[in-house]
Structure 1
Amino acid sequence: MKTRGLSVKNVVAIGIGSAIYVILARFTSIPTPIPNTNIELVFPFLALLAAIYGAKVGFAVGFIGHALSDFIMYGQTWWSWVLATGIFGLIIGLSRKPLDLKNGIFGFKQIIFFNIVQILANAIAWIAVAPVGDILIYSEPANKVFVQGISATISNGITIMIVGTLLLKAYAGTKIKKGSLRKED
């Protein structure tokens, strides 16, 4: 019987993933020349969790983790970017089935697919959702927020392409490949 809610495993993944998100966001951000825009090593981790657990977990970890890290580090939460992070996790999570990580498969085709998805997810999150939210919610100047969004898309895309691909490859390597076990006679 399938349920529509979250499993205990997914709830635990959200809790632990959000906590790790906060720690990574706090201690692995590398500033860029663009104000309020960093190279973030937390996004490859978010991509890994979303690819393993799916869209609901990806959205929740991105949303909760970003909201908490903003509040802890800055004393306020920048909701347009929090929503964008959740949407990024959601989009990566939707690619879970074609990636087939649970069967230990992460070859050339999956790497290409993952990186196309993550680049599209970054573009949607940081070039569309975050800047438009900044303009509508905070009345920020369009030229400023689109420069920030494009910078975030490029830096996150490159970081995920390198670190995220390595994380997914390592995770897939821990799984038993489908059809690799044979019954002994």
Structure 2
Amino acid sequence: MIEIKKSIFEFDTKTVVTIGIGAALYGVLGLFGFPIAPNTNIKPAVALLSIFAALFGPVVGFLVGFIGHALTDMIAGWGIWWGWVLSSAIMGFFMGLVYNYKEFSVKNGIATKRHYIYMIFTGTIGIIIAFVFAGAFDVMFMSEPANKIVIQVVGAIVSNLIVFLALGIPTILGLVNVNKKNSNLELDK
């Protein structure tokens, strides 16, 4: 049975719980990474953000990224860096835009090459916008030195693109393929 997609602004109990679980997972997984630049890590949590965004849409992606990154900052104890928290929210939003694309559904196993190209394009644009925003925010409002921020921004863009393209997209493709096989099942009468 094909499930009808909900509006991206419909917040029922299931959506709120999904945001809570996604944010908690993203927040805890955000503590783990491999350093590549000053205060910048390759974080596998980005793949999780792309999965939640593709499954539930840009608003859920935004909120999972925002709340999850704020949790990471609070748990780590370095204070909340709002520019970077908003960067995760922006990434989640752009990664979830594919949800609105006609006839795309991870849950129903429906995706074409055009959907994947769109997902890669919007996710890449979102990552670039997110971290340019975070860097500009740090320079303008947090008095961070611009030369350090440039290194952080470039490192964040590259590392997040790697995780998005190498882990996020293939996982979404795998979920679509698994659900495609399951959606063809019929009941014997």
Coarse TM-score class (shorter-chain normalised): 0.7 to 0.9
1:131 to 2:140 alignment: no
Matches within 5 A, 1:1-185: 4-26=9-31, 28-32=32-36, 34-98=37-101, 99-127=104-132, 129-176=133-180, 180=184
Give CA-to-partner distance per residue, 1:1-53, whole Å, 9 cap, x none.
x7954121110111101111122112x31111x11000010111001101111
- TM-score, normalization: structure 1? 0.87
Change (3 A) 1:16 1:183: closer
- TM-score, normalization: structure 2? 0.85
Residue identity over aligned pairs, in percent, reads 36
Residue 132 of structure 1 and its aligned partner are, at CA, apart by: 1.1
The aligned amino acid for 1:21 is Y
Change (3 A) 1:5 1:96: closer
Paired residue secondary structure (2:118): helix
Paired residue secondary structure (1:14): helix
Unpaired stretches in structure 1, ≥5 consecutive residues: none
Q: CA RMSD in A?
A: 2.5
Residue 180 of structure 1 and its aligned partner are, at CA, apart by: 4.4
User: In structure 1, how many angstroms separate the alpha carbons of the residues matched to 2:183 and 2:73?
Assistant: 45
Unpaired stretches in structure 2, ≥5 consecutive residues: 1-6
User: In structure 1, how many angstroms separate the alpha carbons of the residues matched to 2:112 and 2:160?
Assistant: 22
The aligned amino acid for 2:162 is I
8 Å contact kept, 1:122–1:153: yes
Q: Which structure is higher in helix share? A: 1
Paired residue secondary structure (2:24): helix
The aligned amino acid for 2:70 is A
Residue 169 of structure 1 and its aligned partner are, at CA, apart by: 1.3
The aligned amino acid for 2:89 is G
8 Å contact kept, 2:139–2:146: yes
8 Å contact kept, 2:135–2:153: yes
User: In structure 2, how many angstroms separate the alpha carbons of the residues matched to 1:123 and 1:15?
Assistant: 26
Residue 184 of structure 1 and its aligned partner are, at CA, apart by: 8.2
8 Å contact kept, 1:105–1:177: no
